[in-house]
Structure 1
Amino acid sequence: MNDVLITAARVLTGPGGEHVEDGAVLVQAGTITAAGPRTAVEAAAPDGIARHDFGDATALPGLIDCHVHLAFDGSDDPVTALQDSDDAALLEGMAERARRLLGSGVTTVRDLGDRNGLALRLRDAIAEGTLPGPRILSAATPVTAPGGHCWFFGGEVEGADAIRDLVRRNIDAGADVIKVMATGGGHTRGGPAVWQSQFTADELRLVVEEAGRAGLPVAVHAHGTAGIEAAVAAGVSTIEHCTWMAEGGGFDLREDLVDGIKAAGIHVCTATSPNWRGFAERVGHERAEELFASMRWMAKLGVPMIAGTDAGVTRAVFDKFVNSLEFYEYLGFPPAKIVDMATGDAALALGVGGEVGRLAAGYRADVLVVDGNPLVELDALRRVRFVLADGRVFGAER
């Protein structure tokens, strides 16, 4: 790990755009020991510490992508690519994709489904410093129905005993979160329709209870409104996608369920692809706007939202997180709120809010430095100058 002193024109020190001008961050033994005005932080720094002075730049917490699939390669057919790869080749590809995430300023990811626990192995190699990459929170094998969404990851179960057994196996393997496919989805040929439920509320509640015994959160993939209703009733931690789809392809927006989401403290991760503009071109702008309007509706009603890319699925690459963040700008979110969604808000939602997501004493040293001011223009997040992940400098200063 690197002991470093970082100075920049702006240092983001809290939510809502809170920052100091002419600031600094002091990192020692992988932990932030001071962050604030440059003169005060410099006074706390030991003599001879390595310095990185960035001038008109912004230091902020490393970004958090709340929804990725490292086992997918983002190609036109990621499922076939997965099935054609043995575990050794797949793990090698996952490591390269993790490296791309880190290079773009993402220092924490939540991986929501892989094969044979490979993301757990990669997580541990990165944590040990053997490989470069972001901190990984892994769901290991996602829970799905026989022939259900993403069955090819190996998590097909039916009935209470089988559900409990898979959750326990994931816990024993070291999973950080439990993932359940509550409805159908894309990328599963011959599987249920995206709006179609795969589990009842009681079955989801069983998952929540079993995971809760181990202190683990539960993330539920739910496109259909019926699946969203079951997830809310079960008391899950996050709902992924949350597109409010009804049988036949329409939308069924229910304010009572939004009230339930807010009351339960559930966060929604829309998992918007970096290629969301291309999605609108493919399905038609009218259809896309219907979907986008449902996201805007949730935000207006105060649903807590966090940012993810679904990186790995078709055309969702691993180094374009800012493209996905620009979706929220399109919805009308101010840049400061979007930065929070990708840092502190995300950390709290994923259960690591006391460790990452802020530049403050006692937090892990995940620091991103970019040219310009992302509180004014999100595009600044593309101009990466420096990445520090868990106290380790990644790549050369740019």
Structure 2
Amino acid sequence: MDTIVSAERILLGPRGHRLVDGAVLVQGGIITDVGPRADIEARAPHDLTRFFYPNSTLLPGLIDAHVHLVLDAGPDPVSGLASTDDTTLGQAMADRALRLLDTGITTVRDLGDRNGLAVRLREDIATGQSPGPRILAAGTPVTAPGGHCWFLGGQAKGADAIRAVVRRNIERGVDLIKVMATGGGITKDGPAIWEAQFTEEELRLIVREAHHAGLPVAAHAHGTAGIAAAVAAGVDTIEHCTWMGRDGFDVREDLVTTMAARGIAVCPAASPDWRGFAQRFGPERAEEMFARMRWMREQGVRLITGTDAGISRAVFDDFVSSLEFFQHIGYSTAEIIDLATHETAQALGIAHDTGLLRPGHRADLLVVDGNPLDDLQVLRKVHLVMAGGRPHLPRTSRACP
């Protein structure tokens, strides 16, 4: 559908660059023109669908770099997954993707599925069979036998088995490789959250296989030993990066310096329930963890936005609460909008076609009621979402096309 979308203001990005009374022309799913509304209208064909939103803001679509569409965000998502067959699970995943789209998210990175279901959903969305954001699918995470998220099917021990899991994912058409470098919280009877699951050489093997196929690697790593091995192996992003040791936090400044120099981004995967997590974890300990994120940013490490949606209490329709975490550690509202669009796109290697409102980019955008530069909560008031040029009116929308 070829369209013109216009609003009182457009956030072109980055650094709060804006246009008053502007419009975006979308043709064939691509932004082909951006400028003052009168100029765009004068240049555009007459037989277009038009969306006009006074008192509203048009901005790039948001990016959630860490979701798990196979999980239901309930009290025990692992048991829920185990009791759900693939057909039912695929339908549930499509509904979760739609909830993400409703909130203005136009790109997600799915970091762990079962049997290639996220890849299938990615194709359904790309071909217009199902509404949703663009999915960057990691497929089945590589993990140790009995390791974190073993139940997804990616257990491997030794070089040959590790290589086989990575190549199976590549054959399924994944967009990246995910490895569980340490234990994790939702795997009962698995390794401790701080415990490394692979050696540095094993992680190097994963990175070599992935990079040879042109794919980035995301490493789940809470523990410092796993973080160190992942950095040495040359992964592209580290998920969580909480610097845990056997006896408490164990931050290594040399690793932070290396991460900043190499451009290894960190996704804190701040749940929408991050405040509740702080209370359960212990406010003082949680604040120490949060302060580490603030410090890493000050040292030049790029942070990116992600929710861990699917984990217990990490729901699929409250992205703004996750963004409030970045407010808590010192980001301005304008910086958060850049972070959730262009900067995360850069870290994921997709900034060439999304994250900004520019001719030639995918038509990934949203319209919200008010000015989010004044108040982050405005991002909750979504009128219109467009992912890859397909207009979507959220189910709670007050949109006026």
What TM-score do the two structures reach when normalised by structure 2? 0.97
What is residue 195 of structure 1 aligned with on the other side? 194
SS of equivalent to 1:143: coil
Structure 1 unaligned segments of length 5 or more: list them. Answer: none
- Post-superposition Cα deviations, 1:125-166, rounded to whole Å, max 9, x if no partner, equal 111100111100000000000000000000000111111111
Query: 2:311 corresponds to which residue?
Result: 313
Partner amino acid, structure 1, of 2:342: G
Rounded Cα–Cα distance in structure 1 between residues aligned with 2:205 and 2:371: 45
Spell out the pairing of 1:74-153 with structure 2 (5 A cutoff).
Answer: 74-153=73-152
Secondary structure of 1:370's match?
strand
The one-character-per-residue Cα deviations of 1:228-282 (angstroms, maximum 9, x if unpaired) are 111110111100000011112x111221111110111111100000001111121
1:378 alignment partner AA: L
RMSD, aligned CA: 1.0
CA distance in 2, matches of 1:226, 1:210: 22
1:207 aligned residue: 206
- Which whole-Å CA distance do the structure 2 matches of 1:84 and 1:112 have between them? 21
Structure 2 residue aligned with 1:268, among 249, 266, 269?
266
Cα deviation for residue 297 of structure 1 reads 1.2
Check whether the contact 1:61–1:358 (CA below 8 A) recurs between aligned residues. Answer: yes
Give, in whole Å, the separation in 1 of the partners of 2:97 and 2:353. Answer: 20
For residues 52 and 393 of structure 2, what CA distance do their matches in structure 1 show?
Answer: 16
Does the CA-based 8 Å contact 2:260-2:299 persist in structure 1? Answer: no
TM-score (norm 1): 0.98
Deviations 1:259-308 (A, max 9, x none): 11011111110000000111112122112111111111111212101000
Instruction: Find the counterpart in structure 2 of residue 54 from structure 1.
Output: 53
Deviations 1:51-81 (A, max 9, x none): 1110111111111100000000000000000
Q: Judge conservation of contact 2:383–2:393 (CA < 8 Å) in 1.
A: no
Distance 2:234 2:195 in 1: 20
The correspondence for 1:329, drawn from 327, 330, 340, is: 327
5+ long unaligned stretches in structure 2: none
Judge which range, 388-397 or 333-342, deviates more: 388-397
> Following TM superposition, by how much is the alpha carbon of 1:349 offset from its aligned partner in structure 2, in angstroms?
1.1
Contact 1:13 1:36 in 2 (8 A): no
1:366 partnered with 2:364: yes
The offset of 1:40, in angstroms, is 2.4
Q: SS state of the match for residue 27, structure 1?
A: strand
Segment of structure 1 superposing worse, 386-395 or 304-313: 386-395
Q: Tell me if the contact between 1:31 and 1:362 (Cα under 8 Å) persists in the aligned partners.
A: yes
Question: 1:13 and 1:145 mapped to 2: Cα distance?
Answer: 44
- The SS at the match of 2:51 is strand
Rounded to whole Å, the distance in 2 between the matches of 1:263 and 1:246 is 24
| 8 A Cα contact 1:102 1:387, kept in partner | yes
Aligned equivalent of 1:162: 161
Could you tell me which of 348, 364, 375 is aligned with 1:350? 348
Q: How many residues align?
A: 396
Question: After the TM superposition, which parts of structure 1 deviate over 4 Å for at least 4 consecutive aligned residues?
Answer: none
- Map 1:235-274; keep pairs closer than 5 Å: 235-248=234-247, 250-274=248-272
Where does residue 230 of structure 1 map in the other structure?
229
Alignment counterpart, residue 290 of structure 1, candidates 288, 310, 322: 288
More displaced, 16-25 or 238-247? 16-25
Q: 1:302 — aligned with what?
A: 300
CA contact (8 A) 1:307 1:342 kept: yes
Inter-partner Cα distance in structure 2 for 1:374 and 1:207: 41
Deviation string for 1:198-251 (max 9, x for gaps)? Answer: 011111111111001110000000001111111110111100000011112x11
Q: Which residue of 2 aligns with 1:278?
A: 276
For 1:139 and 1:336, locate their aligned partners in 2 and report how far apart those are by CA, in whole Å. 30
